[in-house]
């Protein structure tokens, strides 16, 4: 194979297919991809470091701003980690309210994803139809929490806003309206011939690859990994609620569409149950003073497993905060899968994991040697870091 | 003599000449976008002029007033010159279309040859435009454009053969006249009513591909190759490219109207002279916008296809059907 | 079926609200956190809001001579007043939660654009 058969080009950091700055460097032969790599780190904002300078009540709002879509997941996860350290009991009503907002957020996130995917495959009509229906969920969230995106719903030890009968009635109405619309979306998405031709058999993440690259969330569940923190390690009030975890074994983009649409219906069921069985009582336990100790909290964000670690050393400011967002785990798998596909498939495969690079880019950078195309092993990395440190000291 | 020349100049420049054609192009652009938006429950263009009717014109002016950037890697001469002459062949092509009467502005025994030639040259211009920008995305877009031409050229031309066989002529006026009159006293003898409907469907599909509208917008695919062959153009060049795309829409849809829907034909109510010309034009516009709406609805309901699927679908599905259909028509003797 | 839905859509009213020219169809819930209003008459200058603000946008400004004169009995110990810089505010509503006298409130008035930075300072 001579060298001139190949074309190398960058998809991103500024590209219409990517909603956030991220580079995918692909080498193509004609339109077929022979090599692909992701270069992350364009939206690094140093949130973890900034959090170390603020007390936990303020860092809570910082955590919320890690991601614009799954803001509640980060916010609630941070609150939960701090609650572990403070060793407080969160009132049951607050737990249920957290589930309510988390599931509403899952609804809007999955619908957003459906729209984005439709846009990536050039099906703009579906994109607008889905996003139009998504406004119902956004309105519900706005009425309940006071904001469309960064809800500010959580406080350390509980939630800030209660569910009044008025808002409950409004949520019920919105959900009743949403149900038939979701049925319609399901029918359009799963039966349209062109959607099937663009997504079926595309970007298949095999069970093996899924395990190797440690994917999470719907991406993992579509590859046959039966894992959902909501069921397997119940947090908030999920233990009391009845819902199914959908699993598919195909691993392609079409199965991800099917899976997420089914998850939409499960979320509707969960919200229905929460509204019916919301216990009475307080919504907040106060947390005050300095904390000591560290804790890890994991919750199932719409895109996958969300990990927060906080460490307090007899202070109000966290000594260390560490976040691992689901996209970071998922993007590796999509890069692996790209090889062998065509240029048209890049946006579909990348978007299929619901990538959120704002979540991802905080501290780490993937860097691969472009010319020799090798992944550095842990040993080599360690050696490299020692060398660079030495150089810096010299 | 002088009045003849004056009339010809008036016809070629003002109505139904360049001025009018460009207005029609911008109008079609507005119509397409408005209907596309309404199908998606959006408002669409609504600020420039009444109901946003001047949107195409406003876009053209605004784009033309912007800075023009020529990439260093581009072929300097072609990149600067070609966009300006790109709309010309299509305007010439539209002169062939009989809009106001049974005869177009230009008429010759071989109209169809000229039209097919212009349709091909337009795609060729797109390929060169993409190639001369020197960007990888543009190159991919240009190669996709070429592949689309190769795939849909045959079904397009074969679907155009049906009206030709039926009229027994390559002249557009003859083709229009062959569709005059009615069957069973009420059904117009348009090519689309009858066996010709197959040819019309083939034509619509190929026309969408020629126009690069969804689901065949692969050469410009925004989310894949960021605009394809149009990517590097800006300012005045891009304005001309926008104009070219709108004109292409007028051209291709007009061909469909003339070949399959009887062009400007319709009940005349015994009117003659300028009144008849106006009436012809009204009929033509009605048919034109009907085809435009049909194309818009088709393109809004489908996802963009991959270039492989387009080539495969065309060669294994559309081309054989068109060939079999034309052989059938030939055997049956023009039906 | 999509095609039926599409043709229905063609005759339905578009969902777009032409904000800011129209506001019909928009909802402004009670809980919406937007423009702050500070009632300086009942503010006691306790600095709680400034300390709690996650974005550090509340500044406690010393009262001017006139304002010191105009203090009522209720706030006679007040020496500073809160001024909120809305350009950097994250609209979390924590200041409202911690305010002991209920003088600082977030309204649901969302129309904030302004060409003048001074206008985006609440409390002055």
* Residue-wise pLDDT tens digits, B272-300: 777 777 888 888 888 888 899 888 888 88
In angstroms, rounded to a whole number, what is the distance separating the alpha carbons of residues A110 and A356?
A: 13
Which chains sit next to B, with 3 or more Cβ pairs under 8 A? A, C
pLDDT range class, residue A364, cuts 50, 70, 90 = very low
The answer to whether residues A62 and A54 touch, using CB atoms and an 8 Å cutoff, is yes
Residue linked to tokens 């299929």: A352
* Dist CA A174 CA A182 (whole Å): 12
Residue of B nearest to A133 (CA): B41
Distances (CA, A) of C99 to C32, C80, C105, C114: 18, 15, 9, 27
Average pLDDT score, chain A? 82
Q: How confident is the model at residue A351, as a pLDDT?
A: 79
Would you say residue A369 has pLDDT above 80? no
Start-end of CATH 1.10.645.10 domains in chain A: 47-327
Which of A50-64, A197-211, B100-114, B181-195 comes out lowest in average pLDDT?
B181-195
Q: Is this model's pTM higher than 0.90 or not?
A: no
Nearest neighbour of B215 by CB, restricted to A129, A194, A345:
A194
Q: Which residue has the tokens 């609804």?
A: A107
Report how many helices (DSSP H) and strands (DSSP E) chain A contains, helices first: 15, 8
Which run of H or of E encompasses A159? strand A158-159
Considering only residues B268 and B138, tell me which one the structure prediction assigns the higher pLDDT: B138
SS (H, E, C) A225-247: CCCCHHHHCCCCCHHHCCCCCCC
Cis status of the peptide bond prior to A85, with omega within 30 of 0: no
Cis peptide before B16 (omega within 30 of 0): yes
Q: Are B35 and C10 in contact (CB under 8 A)?
A: yes
| Three-state DSSP class for residue A297 | strand
Taking the CA of residue B38 and the nearest CA in chain C, the distance in Å comes to: 5
Smallest Cα distance from A197 to chain B, Å: 8
Q: Which of B38, B40, B301 sits opposite C3 (nearest CB)?
A: B301
Short-list B310, B303, B144, B215, CA closest to A198: B303
Query: How crowded is the C-beta side of C119, counted as CA atoms within 13 Å?
Result: 6
Residue reference for tokens 């083709």: B175
Domain that holds residue C90: 29-122
Question: Does residue B22 lie in a domain region?
Answer: no
What's the rounded Cα separation, in Å, for the pair B155 and B315? 9
Angstrom CA distances, A195 to A255, B141, B218, stand at: 12, 22, 15
Contacting partners of chain A (3+ CB pairs under 8 A): B, C
Domain that holds residue B214: 72-332
How far, in Å, are A111, A172, B149, B214, C86 from residue A244 at the CA level? 19, 21, 50, 38, 45
Residue C49 confidence (pLDDT) above 70: yes
Q: How confident is the model at residue B231 (pLDDT cuts 50, 70, 90)?
A: confident
**Tens digit of each residue's pLDDT (9 = 90 or more) over A249-275:** 888 888 888 888 989 998 998 988 888
CATH number, domain containing residue C57: 3.30.70.3270
Contact C2 A192 (CB under 8 A): yes
Residue A315's pLDDT band, with cuts at 50, 70 and 90, is confident
Neighbours of C118 (CB within 10 A): 7
Residue B254 domain flag = yes
The larger pLDDT score, comparing residue B222 to residue A313, is at A313
Name the strand (E) or helix (H) holding B69.
Answer: none
DSSP labels, B180-235: -SEETTTEE--TTSSTHHHHHHHHHHHHHHHHT-TTS-TTT-HHHHTTGGGTT--H
Mean pLDDT of chain C: 83
Does the pLDDT of residue B103 top 80, yes or no? no
Q: Which of B33, B39, B42, B293 to mutate to test the interface with C (most CBs of C within 10 A)?
A: B39
Check CB contact of C120 with chain A, cutoff 8 Å: no
Beta carbons of C27 and A143 less than 8 Å apart: yes
Residue C5, in any domain of the structure? no
Cα radius of gyration (chain B)? 20
What pLDDT does residue A370 have? 42
Q: Note whether B190 and B178 are within 8 A (CB).
A: no
Highest mean pLDDT among A67-71, A342-346, B322-326: B322-326
Structure tokens at A338: 């790209």
| A347 vs B41, B136, B223: nearest CB | B223
Q: Are strands A154-155 and A158-159 parallel, antiparallel or unpaired?
A: antiparallel
Chain A residue with the nearest C-alpha to that of C9: A129
Q: Which CATH class is domain A47-327?
A: mainly alpha
Contact state of B35 with C10 under an 8 Å Cβ cutoff: yes
| Mean residue pLDDT across chain B | 83
Handedness of CA A366, A367, A370, A376 (dihedral sign): negative
pLDDT digits (tens, 9 = 90+) for A192-201: 888 888 888 8
Structural domains in chain C (count): 1
From CA A260, how far away is CA A240, in angstroms rounded? 23
Nearest chain A alpha carbon to C92: A152
Judged by a CB distance cut-off of 8 A, whether residue A322 touches chain C is: no
ipTM given for this complex:
0.83
| Contacts made by residues B116-124, CB under 8 angstroms, sequence distance 24+ | B116/B157, B116/B160, B118/B89, B118/B90, B118/B92, B118/B93, B118/B251, B119/B93, B119/B156, B119/B210, B119/B251, B119/B252, B120/B149, B120/B153, B121/B89, B122/B86, B122/B89, B122/B90, B122/B244, B122/B248, B123/B148, B123/B149, B123/B210, B124/B149
For the record, the structure tokens of A167 come out as 């808002």
Q: What share of chain C is helix, strand, coil (3-state, %, to 5)?
A: 25, 15, 60
User: How far is residue A149's CA from residue A65's CA, in Å, rounded to a whole number?
Assistant: 10
Q: How many structural domains comprise chain B?
A: 1
**In residues, how long is chain A?**
394
Question: Quick check: B102 and B177 in contact, CB under 8 A?
Answer: yes
């Amino acid at each position: 194979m001579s060298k001139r058969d190949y074309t190398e080009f960058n998809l991103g950091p500024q590209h219409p297919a990517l909603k956030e700055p991220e580079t995918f460097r692909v080498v193509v032969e004609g339109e077929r991809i022979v090599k692909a790599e992701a270069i992350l780190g364009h939206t690094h904002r140093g949130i973890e470091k900034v959090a170390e300078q603020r007390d936990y009540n303020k860092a809570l709002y910082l955590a919320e701003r890690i991601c614009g879509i799954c803001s509640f997941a980060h916010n609630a996860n941070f609150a939960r980690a701090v609650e572990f350290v403070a060793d407080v009991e969160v009132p049951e009503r607050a737990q249920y309210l957290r589930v309510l907002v988390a599931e509403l957020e899952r609804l809007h996130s999955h619908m957003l994803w459906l729209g984005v995917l439709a846009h990536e495959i050039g099906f703009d009509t579906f994109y607008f139809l889905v996003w139009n229906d998504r406004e119902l969920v956004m309105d519900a969230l706005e009425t309940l929490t006071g904001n469309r995106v960064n809800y500010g719903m959580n406080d350390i030890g509980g939630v800030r806003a209660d569910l009044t009968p008025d808002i409950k009635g409004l949520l019920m109405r919105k959900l009743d309206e949403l149900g038939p619309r979701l049925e319609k979306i399901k029918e359009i998405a799963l039966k349209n011939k062109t959607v099937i031709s663009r997504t079926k058999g595309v970007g298949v993440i095999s069970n093996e690859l899924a395990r190797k690259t440690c994917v999470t969330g719907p991406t993992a569940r579509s590859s046959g990994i039966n894992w959902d923190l909501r069921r397997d390690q119940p947090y908030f009030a999920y233990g009391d609620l009845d819902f199914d975890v959908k699993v598919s074994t195909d691993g392609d983009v079409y199965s991800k569409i099917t899976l997420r649409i089914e998850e939409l219906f499960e979320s509707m069921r969960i919200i229905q149950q929460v509204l019916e069985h919301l216990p009475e009582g307080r919504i907040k336990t106060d947390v005050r003073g300095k904390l000591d100790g560290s804790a890890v909290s994991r919750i199932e964000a719409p895109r996958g497993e969300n990990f927060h670690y906080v460490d307090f050393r007899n202070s109000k400011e966290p000594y260390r905060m560490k976040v691992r967002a689901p996209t970071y785990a998922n993007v590796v798998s999509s890069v692996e899968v790209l090889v062998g596909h065509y240029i048209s498939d890049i946006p579909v495969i990348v978007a299929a994991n619901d990538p959120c690079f704002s979540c991802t880019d905080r501290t780490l950078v993937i860097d691969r040697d472009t010319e020799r195309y090798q992944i550095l092993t842990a040993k080599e990395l360690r050696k490299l870091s020692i060398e660079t440190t030495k150089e810096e000291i010299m | 003599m002088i009045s003849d020349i004056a009339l010809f100049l008036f016809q070629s420049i003002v109505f139904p000449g360049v001025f009018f054609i460009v207005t029609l192009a911008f109008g079609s652009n507005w119509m397409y976008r408005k209907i596309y938006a309404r199908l998606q429950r959006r408002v669409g263009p609504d600020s420039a002029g009444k109901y946003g009717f001047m949107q195409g014109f406003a876009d053209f002016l605004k784009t033309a007033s912007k800075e023009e950037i020529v990439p260093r890697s581009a072929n300097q001469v072609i990149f600067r010159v070609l966009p300006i002459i790109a709309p010309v062949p299509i305007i010439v092509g539209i002169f062939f279309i009989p809009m106001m009467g049974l005869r177009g502005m230009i008429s010759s025994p071989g109209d169809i040859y000229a039209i097919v030639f212009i349709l091909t040259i337009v795609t060729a211009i797109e390929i060169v435009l993409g190639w001369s920008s020197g960007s990888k995305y543009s190159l991919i877009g240009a190669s996709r454009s070429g592949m689309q031409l190769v795939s849909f050229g045959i079904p397009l031309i074969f679907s155009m053969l049906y009206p030709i066989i039926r009229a027994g002529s390559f002249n557009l006026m003859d083709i229009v006249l062959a569709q005059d009159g009615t069957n069973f006293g009420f059904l117009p003898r348009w090519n689309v009513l009858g066996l010709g409907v197959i040819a019309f469907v083939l034509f619509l599909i190929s026309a969408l591909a020629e126009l690069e509208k969804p689901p065949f917008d692969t050469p410009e695919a925004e989310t894949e190759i960021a605009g394809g062959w149009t990517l590097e153009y800006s300012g005045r060049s891009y304005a001309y490219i926008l104009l070219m795309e709108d004109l292409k829409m007028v051209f291709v849809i007009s061909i469909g109207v003339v070949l399959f829907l009887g062009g400007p034909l319709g009940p005349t109510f015994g009117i003659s002279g300028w009144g008849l010309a106006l009436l012809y034009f009204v009929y033509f516009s009605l048919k034109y916008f009907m085809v435009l709406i049909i194309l818009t609805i088709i393109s809004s309901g489908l996802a963009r296809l991959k270039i492989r699927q387009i080539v495969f679908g065309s060669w294994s599905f559309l081309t054989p059907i068109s060939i079999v259909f034309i052989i059938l028509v030939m055997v049956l003797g023009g039906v | 079926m999509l095609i039926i839905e599409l043709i229905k859509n063609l005759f339905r009213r578009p969902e777009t609200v032409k904000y800011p020219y129209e506001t019909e169809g928009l909802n402004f819930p009670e809980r919406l956190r937007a423009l702050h209003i500070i009632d300086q008459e009942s503010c006691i200058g306790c600095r709680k809001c400034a300390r709690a603000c996650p974005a550090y946008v509340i500044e406690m400004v010393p009262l001017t001579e006139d304002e010191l004169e105009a203090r009522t009995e209720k706030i006679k110990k007040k020496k500073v007043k809160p001024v909120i810089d809305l350009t950097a505010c994250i609209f979390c509503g924590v200041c409202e939660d911690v305010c002991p006298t209920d003088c600082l409130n977030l309204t649901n008035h969302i129309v904030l654009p302004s060409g003048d930075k001074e206008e985006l300072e609440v409390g002055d």
